[in-house]
Structure 1
Amino acid sequence: MEKTQISIIMLLMMCLLWLSACQPEVTKTSPSEKVKAEKREIVAESLPTDGFIENVGWISNSEILSIKEEQGLTSLYIYNLYDDTSQKIYDVESSYVSSSISPDKTKIFIHSSPTSYSAKVTIIDKSGDVQFQEDVPSYDLTHAWNQFNEDAVLMTTFSEDWSFQVFEINIREKTMAPIEVEQPFVQWQSKSSVLYQDWNKKEVSVSAPLISQNILDNEKEMIVENSVHFNQFRSVLLSVNSREDEGPFTYQFIKPNGEIQSQFTVELLSRYSDWLIPYYDMIEKSDRLITFVSNEPGSFDTYTGTFSLKSWDTVTGEEEVLFENLPLEPIQCSPDGELCLYGNQFEKIIDMKKQKIVQLLKEEGADI
C-alpha cells in the first residue's frame, strides 16, 4: 500500500514538473510580443521632401503607398512607418494624375495622362505587376472600386464639354464595357447595382433623390428622397440629408434592408451654392465614422475657426471627441483604426491611441 502511495505521489510530482516546464513556452512570448507592439514608434520626419508628391493611403496597418518624382519618372513606393524601409513597386512614365488603393488593399488604380485629351488607366497589384491597362480618350475621369467584387471598377470619362460615359472595368477578364447611367458620379451598391444622385438638370439644388440602378436589367429604385451627400460602405450606406435647405443636417447610416441603423445631426458650413461636407473616413472593422465637425457656425468662405475630430459608432450611436481645434484637412485611417493619415498630401499621421500627431516629411534643410 505504501509503495502504491509513493508511486502515485511520484507520478503527480513528475506531472507537475512537466507542466511547469511547458508553461513558460506559452507565457514567455505573448507578453513580450505585446510589449514590443506597444513600444513601436512611427519614424518621424522620415520622408524626404525632395521629389515628394503625396501619400495615397494604407496598404496595411503599418504600410502606406507613397508617390515621389525621381529621374523624370513618377515612382510608387510601399513605405513602412515603423522600420523606415521602402520598396519601389512601379514607375509611371507619362504624366501622373492620381492613384487609389482597392478596399482589400491588394490593387492600385493609377491615372496618368499622356496628353491633354487622353488618359492611361493602369491597375497593378502590390508587387507592381500590371493587371489591367487601357488608353482612353478623356479630358478627365473618376473611378470607384467595388467593395463587393474586387475585380470590378466603375470609371467615368469626361469630354471637354463635360459629356460623359460610364464604364465597368473587369480586372480579371481585362475588359472595359460601357454601361448606361444617367449621372456621372456613381458608386457600387452591390455586385450588380450602382448608386447615384439624380440631380435636376434645369434647377440648381443642394439635394437630390438617391437612386439605385441594377446594371443587369436597368431596374431603378429610389433609396433616399433628398440626399445632400452619400457614400456606400460594405455594410452600411451613409446619406447626409436635410428637411430644409438651410439645415440642420442628419448623417444617416442605412442598412441594406433600408432600416436606419443610427443617425446624428450637425450644422454644416455654407458655401456659395451648397454645403461643406467635412472630411471623414469609415473604419469598417469597428463600425466607426471619423469626421471633422466645425466648432462654430458660418460660411466656409469666411470661416476662421477650427474643427473637432469626432468618432461616431454607427451601431450603438455613441459619440466621442478625439481632438479639438484642428485644421480641416483630408483624413484616411488604417484598417485597424489606430493610425490616420492626415493633411493635404497625407504628410502627417494621427496616432489615435497616443493622442498625438507625427510629421512624416523632413523639414527643409534637415539632415538626410
Structure 2
Amino acid sequence: MINNKKVSVLICFLLSILWLSACQPEETQTSPSEKEKTEKKEIVAEILTSDSFVENIGWLSDSEILTVQNEDGQTSFYIYNLYDGSNMKIYEIPSSYVSASISPDKEKILIHSAPVSYSAQVTIIDRGGEVLFQEEDVPSYELTHSWSKFDDNALLMTSFSEDWSFQVFRIDVEKGIMDPIDVEQPFVQWHSDSSVLFQDWNTDEISVSAPLLSQNIVDGGKEMIVDSSVHFNQFDDSLLSIFSREEEGPFTYQFITSSGEIQAEFTVDLLSRYSDWLIPYYDMIGGKGHLITFKANEPGSFDTYTGTFSLMKWDTVSGKEDVLFDDLPLEPIQCSPNGEYCLYGNQLEKVIVLTNSNIIQLLKEEGADM
C-alpha cells in the first residue's frame, strides 16, 4: 500500500528541484554543444612568415586553408588552421611549382608543376597528401583546368601549344584516366555530368561577346544557353552569364537555374579595357546564393582608372544588394564555405571578416618582432 505522506514529500521535493532549475541564470542551462556554437572563435593574425611564403590556395574548411611555401629548394604544401595557427605539411615537390587548386568538395588538390620547358606534370592528391592521380610529360605551353560541380572525380583540362593550338581532356580521378574530348573552344566548364559549356567565338572577327553553348560530350549535340555572353561561370545551383543589351553597357549579371529560369539579375557599369571589359574578382558562397564581388565606384577605362572599388554582396535568391566595403583595392577574393570570411589579396594573404568588416593580415612581415 502506497504511503500518501511519502508521496506528498516526494512531489514537493521534485517541484522544488524544478523551481530551483527555473531560477538558475540562463547561461547555466546551456548545453556544452550549444555553448560551442555561441562561442565566437577568432582568426589568429600573422601566422605565415614572408621569407618562405608563396601563396594561399584557398579554403579546405571553414577554418583551414591550403598554403604553399618554398623550403630548401622544395615547394611544400601545408594545411593551416586559422583559429589556433597550427599547421601540417602534407606534400612537397621539386621547385617547379606553377599553380594549384582545390576541388569543390574540398577533398582533393590539383598541383601543376613544370619540371621541363613546355611540359607539365599534373598531380592530384587528397588532404592527407596521398597521390590519387598523376600525369607526367603533358605537352603544354600553357595549361588551364576546371573542376566539375556535378562529379567530385571529374575535371576538364586544356593544354595549349606555343602556337595556341589546344587539346581539351577529361580527367577521371577515380579511374586514373585522362582522355581527349572533341570541343571547338579551349575555355570550357562542366554544365552537367555529361555536357560542357563554352563561348562560341567567331574567329573571323573581333568581338567582346559570343553565344554561350552547351555540348554533350557523349554524342556531340549542342544547345544554345545564352545568345550573347561576355563572361560565364557555372556554380552549384546556378549559371552566371554577364552580358550587355547595349554596346557600351550597362552590363547585366544574370543567374540562370538548371531548368533555364532566370533566378536573379543585377546591373552594373564595367570598366573598359583595350579589347574587352573588366570583370572584377568575385566568388560565390555555395548553398547561400551570395555572390561577393567588386564594383567600380566610377565609370571609365581600367588602364587609367584611379577611382575606388566597393565590395558588394548580391543575394541571388532575394535580389538584395549590400555594400560590405566602399573603398578597397581590386584584388583576388575567395570566401569560406560558411560565408563568414574571405581570403583576399594578390596572394590571398589577408582575411576579410564579413560579419564585422575587419581585415586580418595573415602574413608576418620579415624582420618583424616575434
Secondary structure in 2 aligned to 1:114? coil
- Structure 1: which 5+ residue stretches go unaligned? none
User: Does the aligned pair in 2 maintain the 1:63–1:80 contact within 8 Å?
Assistant: yes
Which residue matches 1:65? 66
- The residue correspondences of 1:235-246 to structure 2 (distance < 5 A) are 235-246=237-248
The aligned residue for residue 185 of structure 1 is 187
Correspondence for 2:121 = 120
Map Cα deviations across residues 53-87 of structure 1 (whole Å, 9 max, x no partner). Answer: 10000010001000010010000000111101110
2:274 matched residue in structure 1: 272
Instruction: Give, in whole Å, the separation in 1 of the partners of 2:181 and 2:20.
Output: 67
1:67–1:75 CA contact under 8 A, matched in 2: yes
Q: Cα 1:205–1:6, aligned 2, differ >3 Å: closer, same or farther?
A: same
Aligned to 1:341: 343
Alignment RMSD = 2.1
Residue 105 of structure 2 corresponds to which residue in structure 1? 104
Give the distance between the partners of 1:246 and 1:171, measured in 2 at CA: 43
Choose from 27, 32, 45 the match for 1:29: 32
Which position in structure 2 is the counterpart of 1:297?
Answer: 299
Q: How many residues align?
A: 366
Deviation string, structure 1 residues 303-336 (Cα, Å, up to 9, x no partner): 0011000100001100000011101000000000
Look up the match of 2:78: 77
CA deviations over 1:207-232 (Å, ceiling 9, x no partner):
00000011111110000000000000
Deviations 1:85-140 (A, max 9, x none): 11000001250000000001000000000111110000000000000000111111
Q: Shift of the alpha carbon at 1:365?
A: 1.3
Q: Match for residue 17 of structure 1?
A: 17
Name the structure 2 match of 1:197: 199
Query: How far is 1:14 from its partner?
Result: 3.4
Q: What is the correspondence of 1:177-326 to structure 2 with a 5 Å cutoff?
A: 177-326=179-328
- Deviation of 1:188 after TM superposition, in Å, equals 0.4
What is the TM-score with the length of structure 2 in the denominator? 0.95
**Match for 1:10: what amino acid?**
L
Q: Please state how far the C-alpha of 1:31 moved relative to its aligned partner.
A: 5.1
- Identity, in percent, stands at 64
The change in CA–CA distance for 1:207 and 1:4 in structure 2 (over 3 A counts) is same
Alignment of structure 1 residues 134-213 onto 2, 5 Å? 134-135=135-136, 136-213=138-215
1:197 partner letter: Q
Which deviates further from its counterpart, 182-191 or 92-101? 92-101
State the alpha-carbon separation in 2 of the partners of residues 45 and 191 from structure 1: 41
Read off the aligned partner of 1:159 and give its amino acid letter.
Answer: S
In the TM superposition, residue 346 of structure 1 has moved relative to its aligned partner by 0.3
Deviations 1:223-259 (A, max 9, x none): 0000000000011000001112211100000011111
Larger deviation, residues 4-13 vs 115-124? 4-13
SS of equivalent residue, structure 1 residue 89: strand
Tell me which amino acid in the other structure corresponds to 1:200: N
- TM-score, structure 1 length as denominator? 0.95
Letter in 2 for 1:335: P
User: Contact between 1:206 and 1:245, CA under 8 Å: does it hold in 2?
Assistant: no
8 A Cα contact 1:96 1:111, kept in partner: yes
Q: Distance in 2 between matches of 1:61 and 1:19?
A: 41
Letter in 2 for 1:27: T
**Which sections of structure 2, spanning at least 5 residues, go unmatched?**
none
2: distance between equivalents of 1:292 and 1:362? Answer: 26
Deviation at 1:271, TM superposition (A): 0.2
Instruction: Provide the residue aligned with 1:357 in structure 2.
Output: 359
